[in-house]
Amino acid sequence: MSIEIRREACIGCGQCADVCPGSLILIDSGGKAVIPNPERCWGCASCLKECPALAIEFFLGEDMGGMGGRMRVRRENSLLHWDITKPDGSLETITIDSRDSGMY
């Protein structure tokens, strides 16, 4: 389980580095986010939810039943749209209202 940062999309805001509980993300000399040790990522998804540029993708490996799918998060006010691109290229979106997160 890990993330991948799309360098070409990153705007260098540093929000992902600020929220990562493991301090796994750094801003390099080119002003872009990098994750030097992606194997240490435990998939909390905090960085995905903070990235304003959709530059971070979550890799859904076999261990999560994802079989190589990828996931990004779009924020729209309190809504989080989890866009999942499946291995066959099809797209599925799951929308969650973050105001409901305390209900469970």
- DSSP alpha helix (H) spans, 29-101: 46-50
Rg (CA), the chain: 14
Site for ligand SF4 in 78-97 (CB under 6 A): none
- The residue to which tokens 């890799």 are assigned: 59
CB of 41 to ligand SF4, least distance (A): 3
10 or 80: CB nearest ligand SF4: 10
* Listed ranges 41-49, 59-67, 73-81, 90-98: which one lies at the site for ligand SF4 (CB under 6 A): 41-49
Among 4, 8, 15, 85, binds ligand SF4 (CB under 6 A): 15
Using rule CB under 6 A, residue 5 touches ligand SF4: yes
Alpha carbons 28 and 100: distance in angstroms, whole number? 36
Output 76 or 88, the one with its CB closest to ligand SF4.
76
Contact residues toward ligand SF4 (CB under 6 A) are 3, 5, 10-16, 19-20, 22, 24-25, 33, 35, 41-47, 50-51, 53, 55-56
